[in-house]
Structure 1
Amino acid sequence: MDKYDLKLDQAARAAWLSYVGGRTQDEIAGQLGVSRPGVQRLLALARQEGLVKVHIDHPLAGCMAMGEALVTRFGLSFCDVVPSDPAPHDNGLAFLALAGAERLSRYIDRSEPLTLSLGTGRVVRATVEALSRTERPQHRFVSLVGNVARDGSANRYDGVMVLADKTGAERFLLPAPVVAASVAEKDALLAQHLVQAVSAVAMEAEAGFIGIGRIDPQATLFQDHFISEAELRELLDAGAVGELLGWPMNAAGELVECPLTRRITSLPLRRLAGQTLVGLAGGRDKGPAILAALRGGWLKGLVTDEAAARYIVEQAEASS
């Protein structure tokens, strides 16, 4: 065992003693020969690496009802709605990530080789991080979105590398910015052999797990310098309320046409129609973007929370 595997083994022992054995942190510290803060770090590592799984054997009726309503209304294969955390912290992200990981693991746990595609975003990255480590070297994971910003910085919410590291699978990253500086630069990028090779792998994916972005000053595209302030204004003036893989949509779910969209390097959404695209997003502030993606028929599955689901159900009923 290397040092990390030994640490995981110790974390698993601490988690077992705590959650199964009912030991206090002081008792665990004595048994493992570590300090009490050391036990806390081990338990945090166990949760982070997915060694601890919680199953609550009672369905949340309200969440289930909203999920079923969205499935019926928008023709989805499934819609998982998790409880919203009323406290102002990131537990809501953790709830979404666990539900997303449950869906993603249904593909990864298969023994036959398969190709899965990933978008980017906080929930996508957190979903991948919530998965347990498992050896699946027969699989392939591929990015649907460029993994660099215009200034050359890496996309911090890309999940392909983390997922491949957890499974030993092959990884394919799209070597391009989300938005090229010019149409000529986009054409040159898309003509490169490496970009075409990664795009070809992405087209073979059975399913894709993608984030749903909002279009406003808090948008990830803007905050992480994929687009400029002037380009954000351009999208807002064109009526964009959300984006999938960088492609902006209006409230009806229609793709927005503007100068910016002619420079996006991501695979066109229409080319991915044969894949099971699963959207991962939550929060009432994401409601308009999620609703747009549903109205456009771009998604076949959705993992969201009750705040976003309630917004979507209310808006859908109001427009009936």
Structure 2
Amino acid sequence: MREILDIQKQLLPDLMDVMKKRYSILQHILVSGVVGRRTLASSLDMTERVLRGEVDFLKEQGLLETDASGMKISESGRRLLEAMEPIIKMAFGLTDLEESIRKAFQISQVIVVPGDSDTSTFAKKELGRAGAAALRKYVSKDDIIAVTGGSTMAQIANNLAISSKMKGSWFVPARGGLGESVDMQANTIASIMAKKTGGKYRLLHVPDHLGEEAYQSLIQDPQIQEVVNAVRSCRIVVHGIGDAMVMARRRKVDAETTRTLQADGALAEAFGYYFDRQGNVVHKMPTVGLRLEDLQRVEVVIGVAGGKSKGEAIASVLRHGQEDVLVTDEAAALEIMKHV
């Protein structure tokens, strides 16, 4: 396949450009669900006149459907996109990027989507779609799946659907989350994932981080202990990765701890643990839920994070060595490779 693409690039460079353009149009519509022409043209940085011609062609091929509400992908278009994905990834150079990161950090699979989640809503949605696809690939019947909070995890939840594989599965929050936006909390995301897939869920109604005395008190509660035991016996974990200082602000970490994090070189946060450039844990918050040591016996750990600004943070978490699968975007992947 690579040889054929190389020949096409040399002999028919215009054909490659047209293929990429039409793939991008179809992919944007797939991720958007239903979208109007003006909104799509703006997202693609394309004039409405040029887009109209491409949309007419794709519609004639039976790849798009249009009605008063806008454009949506047809079933034929959906199948074509699935078949084209490996070709497009190779054409964009994403396949090589995936393999470079996989080898550098010795993980099972790396999935890189086009774009930069920091600047593109589409890239963020595509990250969610790819994260949902990764979860579907690894899930098996009656699994316990622990999930963290955050906007990327919310996108993954939005891309799940009724699944016979997931119907018997339990979705649980990896940790507490009261105190931040409700729709971004792990509890909310676990419940949405369960409802979308036909699975079941348990909630953990405790703050995201606690003082030692409050932690010791809560962990003795029988109902909380029951949910915590379920969380710590999960087979799959799906989690986000955050920039350390951004997450410290979001978690309302006190000024003294924030200064300590900065002094210790904290770059990344995951599960309430803060990591430095070498992947060492430099600080941990007392949380009720999944602990770092629990990950050692979890069968599949899926990290999903993107955006150029998070590249170095993602690299530091990968260096810690607990990840099995990484789903990221092109901008983050290029930054990750600068820190290998």
> Shorter-chain-normalised TM-score: which range?
0.7 to 0.9
Aligned pair partner of 1:270 in 285, 290, 293: 293
CA distance in 1, matches of 2:239, 2:114: 20
Aligned pair partner of 2:167 in 121, 137, 141: 137
Kindly state the Cα deviation for residue 232 of structure 1 after the two structures are TM-superposed: 3.2
Kindly state the Cα deviation for residue 289 of structure 1 after the two structures are TM-superposed: 1.2
TM-score by length of 1: 0.76
Consecutive unaligned residues of structure 1, counting only runs of 5 or more, are: 1-10, 13-17, 29-35
Aligned pair partner of 2:182 in 144, 151, 154: 154
2:271 match = 245
Whether the aligned pair in 2 keeps the contact of 1:238 and 1:256 (CA below 8 Å) is yes
CA distance in 2, matches of 1:24, 1:190: 53
Whether the aligned pair in 1 keeps the contact of 2:116 and 2:308 (CA below 8 Å) is no
Map 1:1-320; keep pairs closer than 5 Å.
Answer: 21=62, 25=66, 28=67, 36=68, 39-40=69-70, 54-55=81-82, 56-57=84-85, 58-61=87-90, 62-85=93-116, 88-108=119-139, 110=140, 112-134=141-163, 136-149=166-179, 154=182, 156-158=184-186, 159-180=189-210, 182-216=211-245, 219-223=246-250, 225-257=251-283, 261=284, 263-275=286-298, 276-316=300-340
Consecutive unaligned residues of structure 2, counting only runs of 5 or more, are: 1-32, 35-57
Q: 1:155 to 1:247 in 2, by over 3 A?
A: farther
CA distance in 2, matches of 1:291, 1:243: 12
Amino acid at match of 2:155: A
Kindly state the Cα deviation for residue 266 of structure 1 after the two structures are TM-superposed: 3.8
Q: 1:308 to 1:88 in 2, by over 3 A?
A: closer
Amino acid at match of 1:279: G
CA distance in 1, matches of 2:285, 2:225: 18
Q: 1:52 to 1:186 in 2, by over 3 A?
A: farther
Whether the aligned pair in 2 keeps the contact of 1:210 and 1:280 (CA below 8 Å) is yes
Whether the aligned pair in 2 keeps the contact of 1:252 and 1:292 (CA below 8 Å) is yes
Kindly state the Cα deviation for residue 93 of structure 1 after the two structures are TM-superposed: 0.5
Kindly state the Cα deviation for residue 203 of structure 1 after the two structures are TM-superposed: 2.4
Kindly state the Cα deviation for residue 148 of structure 1 after the two structures are TM-superposed: 0.9
Q: 1:278 to 1:215 in 2, by over 3 A?
A: same
Q: 1:73 to 1:188 in 2, by over 3 A?
A: same
Q: 1:248 to 1:155 in 2, by over 3 A?
A: farther
CA distance in 1, matches of 2:310, 2:118: 17
Amino acid at match of 1:66: L
Q: 1:60 to 1:228 in 2, by over 3 A?
A: same
The alignment covers a number of residue pairs equal to 273
Q: 1:300 to 1:232 in 2, by over 3 A?
A: same
Kindly state the Cα deviation for residue 241 of structure 1 after the two structures are TM-superposed: 0.7
Kindly state the Cα deviation for residue 270 of structure 1 after the two structures are TM-superposed: 1.4
Kindly state the Cα deviation for residue 170 of structure 1 after the two structures are TM-superposed: 1.6
Report the structure, 1 or 2, having the larger helix content. Answer: 2
Whether the aligned pair in 2 keeps the contact of 1:179 and 1:227 (CA below 8 Å) is no
1:7 match = none
CA distance in 2, matches of 1:233, 1:312: 26
Task: Describe the superposition over 1:135-188 as per-residue Cα deviations: whole angstroms up to 9, x where unpaired.
Answer: 5431111111213128xx6362432011011123221222211111x2111111
Whether the aligned pair in 1 keeps the contact of 2:228 and 2:289 (CA below 8 Å) is no
TM-score by length of 2: 0.72
Whether the aligned pair in 2 keeps the contact of 1:119 and 1:245 (CA below 8 Å) is yes
Kindly state the Cα deviation for residue 87 of structure 1 after the two structures are TM-superposed: 9.3
CA distance in 1, matches of 2:249, 2:281: 18
Q: 1:221 to 1:309 in 2, by over 3 A?
A: same
